[in-house]
Amino acid sequence: MSSIDELKLRIKETPISEIIGRYLTLSRKGNSVLAVCPFHDDSNPSMHVNDSRNMFKCFVDNTGGDAINFVKLFKKVEFLDALRDICQVMGWSFDDYHQEGKKDPKAEMAKRILSRAVLIYKKYAQNEGTIFNGFLKNRSLTDETSTTFSLGFAPKTGVIIDYLHRNIQDEKERAFALQVAEEIGIIKKSTYDRQDGKSHYDTFRERIVFPIWDQFGACIGFTTRSIRDDQKPKYMNSIDSIVFNKSNLLYGLHLAKPAMREKDYAILVEGNMDQISLFQNGFENTVAIQGIALGEQSMKRLLSITKNVIFCFDNDDAGFKCSERTNKMFMKEGITPKFIDLGEHKDPDDFLKAEGKIAFSERIQKARPFIDIGIERLIPSEIPELSDRKLEILESAFDIVSPLEKSLQATERIIKMAKTLGLHSDAGQIVETYEKFLEANKSSKAPFSPQREAPPMEEMMHVEEVQMDTPQQHIEENPLLTRAEKTLLQELVQHPECLIMPETSELLDFIESAEVKRYVLELKKLVLEVCDSQYISVVNNYLASKEYSIDLVKTVGSALYKYQPSTLNEKVAKQLLGDLKRKLIADQLKTKRDNILKKQREASSNEESLNLLQELSKIDKEINELRTAVR
């Protein structure tokens, strides 16, 4: 049975306009998809629904977020009820995903270890500057790319073992962590007595480290590369485990999804360096298979985003065979992938270094269906004279197109091939022979099952608003946030690097809302546990799965919509936090002033009124001093 995480993934991989379009009437204006905002009195559409970001934002009332948060706000329901609601309007079975029960403790521990390992390896990449920077320079990778892909360095010392021993104080929990770390292959058991008294050692040592993510953007394993010619093997990867299965992974998918949706096609490559190189050169709609084969789940995940696929595997026999295998899988789904000809170059990375991205763009434009290339390779330079030999070649073409069954895509190619070979049978005879071939091979062929196309945008835009009969569970209302608290949330969400500064802890003393304090503390924990590339996804997931007030959800969602990865320098960050502190103090003083004014109006004696006026004068002085300090 599937899980809630898989339902969340399905929602994320569905264009947000398709989901919101089931609740609101959407319209297109230029490149924007708009809706009348239901969260304020809106007459002109002010809500933008952005499929490439998979988020919405109203630029009038500053409300934003992902599809799950939209439904939580729109229907005023809790997390699980929002998921149930989405399933109902989308025609999915919620029961297929929802299952009660505890999470697998091993899987949870594995993810915890791996997420921390990413940060450790990144830290040591900075410390081992000469080796790591040399690798980046040799591969023409920028610092920005290194950050995007969380590239790291595993030193010679046992940094993962040290982390587990130093940071897990409970002996039982440490033993469990070591067991899990060994099972996922990030550490190995020692076969001899070690001087440091530890029973394990790090698997990856003196290697460049590439994290491998699942579809949610969480690290589930690593691929590593040696730094010296004498190191064997050259590439060392995580083993298959409870969290890692390479046949069901597409490297870089969580980074590529927005561009794949925007461009409506995906480039499929073999290695992670090819994916990184293409991504850096602007071809962000690129993903890499892990190993030599594409898994069934990976293919379906890809086709849920786009139906247009282009192969760009390595330019050798192994790469061509990979194209053949992968092409058959897609053709069984009614998809005919295209193929990029790299000419004399061995792989996409090599092509880009030699000819550049403009030349690669031209190759994309010239990409042809791979099935046609496969058929052309069957045609000999000299057409044989014997009819039997011609029929043998034609039957080989039958095998290539057979996943397309009796479709026109198949029969037209077969007829054209017969003419090229100089066969004199008419088209009807050729098709009849092909159909007999299909019948004879039916037991070994999967039935043709064309992928259902997504409804055109024009149809999707005018879906009637769905009214639900199920009782609604209302989110408990909290007091509205002050302007300063909203500003604080927006700034900290957009500049998470500020959360780890000591000045942020000081701000908590000046926040009136217990909810905002709780959220800031939780956000601080999240930031310490996730990579930059996972930030938006993780914060959105956390926001959707917890019960915060509508005011907070709107504010944080809006800030996430505008988030752009960047790092403030220390001086600017301190200035920002200082400004936030002054605004929070000013809010406190204004609240206190309002309360004193109310008491003063209700005073029962002149003496009480005079005392309150003196307090009021003191607060006004503090407010003026605060304003003067800002100037």
> Is 152 within the bounds of a domain?
yes
Interior angle at CA 251, CA 250 and CA 256, nearest 5? 90
Q: Which amino acid is at 210?
A: F
- Our measurement of the distance from residue 150's CA atom to the centroid of its chain's CA atoms, rounded to an integer in Å, reads 14
- Residue 476 makes CB contacts below 8 A (sequence gap 6+) with 547, 549
What's the CATH code of the domain at 342?
3.40.1360.10
- Residues 93 and 116 reside in one and the same domain: no
The domain of 606 spans 570-630
Residue that finishes a domain, picked among 375, 401, 417: 375
Task: Give the residue ranges of DSSP H helices in 208-356.
Answer: 253-263, 272-280, 296-303, 317-331, 348-355
- In this model, does residue 558 exceed pLDDT 70? yes
* Tens-place pLDDT, residues 174-233: 999 999 999 999 999 887 666 665 788 999 999 999 999 887 678 999 999 999 888 888
Q: Considering Cα of 397, then 402, then 406, then 410, what sign does the dihedral take?
A: negative
* Tens-place pLDDT, residues 307-342: 899 999 999 988 999 999 999 999 888 899 999 999
- Residues 413 and 517 reside in one and the same domain: no
Q: Considering Cα of 448, then 339, then 303, then 3, what sign does the dihedral take?
A: positive
In this structure, what token pair is assigned to residue 309?
Answer: 């696929």
pLDDT at 629: 61
Preceding peptide of 211 cis, ω within 30°: no
The lowest-confidence range among 39-43, 279-283, 302-306, 358-362 is 302-306
**How many whole angstroms separate alpha carbon 463 and alpha carbon 327?**
36
- Residues 422 and 322 reside in one and the same domain: no
> Is 462 within the bounds of a domain?
no
- Residues 229 and 349 reside in one and the same domain: no
> Is 456 within the bounds of a domain?
no
- Residue 304 makes CB contacts below 8 A (sequence gap 6+) with 10, 13, 14
Q: How confident is the model at residue 478 (pLDDT cuts 50, 70, 90)?
A: low
Our count of domains for the chain comes to 5
> Is 301 within the bounds of a domain?
no
The DSSP result for 399-468, as a single string, is HHHGGGTTSHHHHHHHHHHHHHHT--S-HHHHHHHHHHHHHHTGGGSPPP-PPPPPPPHHHHTTPPPPPP
- Residues 25 and 75 reside in one and the same domain: yes
> Is 454 within the bounds of a domain?
no
Which of the given ranges, 269-283, 534-548, 597-611, has the highest pLDDT on average?
A: 269-283
